[in-house]
Amino acid sequence: MHIGRNAVAGLALALAFAAGSGARAAEVQHDSLSFLFDNDVFYNTDRDYTSGEQINYTLAPDDVPDGLVDLAHSMPFLLTDKGDVRASFELGQDIFTPADTVDANPPRNERPYAGFLYAGLGLLANDDRRLDQLELQLGTTGPASLAQDAQAFVHSILGERKPAGWRYQLRDEPILQLTFDRTLKLVPPQSVLGLFFDIEPHFGAAVGNAYDYANGGAMARFGYNLPDDFGPPRMEPSLPGSSFFSLKGDFSAYIFAGVDGRAIARNIFLDGNSFVASRSVPKQPFTADFQLGAAVAFNAFRLSFTHVFRTKEYRGQPHSDQFGSVDLTLQL
């Protein structure tokens, strides 16, 4: 009888330990790997911001080096007194072209050819109601951005004519860019007929020789089992999102809509090079992005598609722009 009581007690202890381990396992946060792809080919155009690609690796809080955590803690405007600190590393390329890519000497009243090749380091700090993101990008524009080669390669695969005016692209220029975004859950997830919605306003700024701007806007999400995150990520300049996600169940699906307005003091891809003569066009001081999209997440995957409408960026631009943005994020 004594042995039986010990066996029961041991079994109860084992079950309690297993339950506790399971609870802790559910709270484990993972590194994430994101692939982002922007292109106007989704809407049969080839002009202005015509494509962008980025790969991003984000460390889970427990994997962030102590030196980066200390750096985040030294910045009073980051939310580091509570919540989690993450670090992200990225590599990306943006490509811009005039509307007339057939002309070997593009019209001077259209935006110049330009590329931006960059690497970035980001610090992210969040709790349930707020996400702060600080990002430093180092890169180059001009022929060193490899934008001409990248676009020629893609056009050859698609069987399309190569753009003819890249000799008039911006000159090589090192780029140093610092960007900050803060996103707030003004309305945390609320239940409506078994589904959920939330509203996330944001504001931020960018300083550097590529962009100088202040921005603000909001995004709303509606769907089934909203993840514990701040929506899919986008490439700057854009609405902010989060390169990490945390499912509250086995599956999530939702739609989202948002707007981001920007007051712009500098845009090198319209204003031209900072220190040497290059082609340029007079920019619009105020622009906006409007977006509609959908996202699904299950197990360790998140996939989203965003339809972006961008207002005219320079004076004399004949049409506003639209492009599609795809994000695939994997938890590792």
Reduced to 3 states, what is the DSSP secondary structure of residue 152?
helix
User: Rounded to 5, what percent of the chain is helix, strand, coil?
Assistant: 20, 50, 35
Q: Which amino acid is at 36?
A: L
Would you tell me how many other CB atoms lie within 10 Å of the CB of residue 315? 12
Cβ pair 46, 111 in contact under 8 A: no
Instruction: State the Cα–Cα distance between residues 192 and 172, nearest whole angstrom.
Output: 53
What Rg, from alpha-carbon coordinates, does the chain have? 23
| Rounded Cα distance, 126 and 318, in Å | 41
Structure tokens at 115: 């590329």
pTM, whole model, 2 decimals?
0.90
If pLDDT is split at 50, 70 and 90, which confidence band does 20 have?
very low
How many CB atoms within 10 Å of residue 229?
A: 22
In terms of DSSP bridges, do strands 32-39 and 211-224 run parallel, antiparallel, or are they unpaired? Answer: unpaired
- pLDDT per position as a tens digit, 67-78: 998 888 888 878
67-118 pLDDT, tens digit per residue, is: 998 888 888 878 766 679 999 999 999 999 999 899 999 999 999 999 999 9
The residues with which 33 forms a beta bridge, in sequence order, are 57, 330
Predicted confidence (pLDDT) per residue in 205-238, tens digit: 999 999 999 999 999 999 999 998 999 999 999 9
DSSP 33-64: EEEEEEEGGGGT---EEEEEEEEEEEE-GGGS
CB 184 within 8 A of CB 204: no
Q: What pLDDT score was predicted for residue 165?
A: 95
Residues 108, 71 contacting (CB under 8 angstroms) = no
